[in-house]
Amino acid sequence: MKKAAIIGGTGYGAIELIRLLQTHPKLEVAKVISHSQSGEVLSSIYPHLKNLPEIRLEELDISSLEAEVDVVFLATPAGVAKEIVPELQNKNLQIIDLSGDLRLSSREDYEEWYGKSAAPQETLNQAVYGLSEIYKEEIQSATIISNPGCFPTASLLGLIPALELGNIKPTGIVIDGKTGVSGAGRTPTAATHFSETNDNVSPYKIGKHQHIPEIEQYLSKAVDADVTTILTTHLIPMTRGLICTMYADLNQETTTEEVIKSYQSYYENKPFIRILPEGQFPQTKAVQGSNYCDIGVWVNERSNQLIIAAAIDNLVKGASGQAIQNVNIMNGWEENLGLQAIPMYP
């Protein structure tokens, strides 16, 4: 049984890792680290964890990590992993960072979009982008994984096949994203206040979301050309769930049926990608609590556009589930080990 530590133990990413790892046959949670609430018992913060083996939050201690665990997950806010990972690397630890600190290859981009100084180049060079279905080979030999953001996960899984296969133009791609409120994290703010959020939809970032450079970087990488997109994110009155509806210009005429076939083929043997039949579109509820990404496509002949919809659970495939999927790949285990749960419906 390999042992994992979770740094940033009081956020939703952390407790979702704890939930998912509970039934993992080869990886168990050995340490949960929280600087702000070190010493507390996690179930006093999260009553749903009551009666489970007591988890006492600890301070970060690099040497004990090295000695006691095999895998380190960082479920920390932006700006923290870039400080900690350099201290952990080259120490015989498998490191998975769930934040955005290591996703952008350009340090200038990170500084521009995140407003903080970037991680050291050496760390960025070692980090492999953990989009499991696309970069499986690289992940297999990685020691540091930069786990993708939630909107990028859905967008990239939805767009990369059509781009790589030359179906769509790499310019003018529109990504309209909708997310449940858990994507905003645990800190109470005016934006996540129930009375203001319930029964309300609003775009909260247009053109400025930190996921834009990430999406563009990996779309560009997929076709070895500059890809620009627009991403608008909307907050939806639901707890979990994320769906991106994407619009791209087709390069040539095609049919929905052909595109579906190409997606099925592209994602053959990828246990977590489900391509829906013609006329069916993803629902966030159909993947709730699971690591699935449901994708539906539609050729709009009237405007010669391809519409792609991709739905995930933002906390699972959009964060903690994909992180565990990457650990499975890194260790040569079956990709879906511990992640086979059927979505919770209704």
- In the region spanning residues 151 to 190, those forming contacts with a copy of itself, defined by CB under 8 A, are 171-172, 174, 176, 178, 180-182, 184, 186, 188-190
> Which CB sits closer to a copy of itself, 78 or 238?
238
Residue 341 binds to a copy of itself (criterion: CB under 8 A): yes
| 146: Cβ contacts below 8 Å, ≥ 6 apart | 97, 101, 102, 103, 127, 128, 129, 130
> Do 53 and 21 meet the contact criterion of CB atoms below 8 Å apart?
no
Shortest distance, CB of residue 86 to a copy of itself, whole angstroms?
31
How many other CB atoms sit within 10 Å of the CB of residue 216? Answer: 20
Sole window of 14-22, 64-72, 99-107, 147-155 interacting with a copy of itself (rule: CB under 8 A): 14-22
End-to-end CA distance of the chain: 34
The strand pair at 144-146 and 94-97 is best described as parallel
Sign of CA dihedral 250, 256, 261, 263: positive
Shortest distance, CB of residue 14 to a copy of itself, whole angstroms?
11
Shortest distance, CB of residue 315 to a copy of itself, whole angstroms?
8
**Residue 244 is a catalytic residue:** no
Sign of CA dihedral 213, 153, 166, 306: negative
Q: Which of residues 303-332 bind a copy of itself (CB under 8 A)?
A: 303, 305, 307, 309, 311
Q: Which of residues 29-58 bind a copy of itself (CB under 8 A)?
A: 46-52
Catalytic residue among 6, 150, 231, 236: 150
Binding mask 248-267 for a copy of itself (x = CB under 8 A): -x------------------
Binding mask 264-293 for a copy of itself (x = CB under 8 A): -------x--x-x---xxxxxxxxxxx-x-
In the sheet that holds 2-7, the strands lie side by side as 27-33, 2-7, 71-74, 94-97, 144-146, 127-129
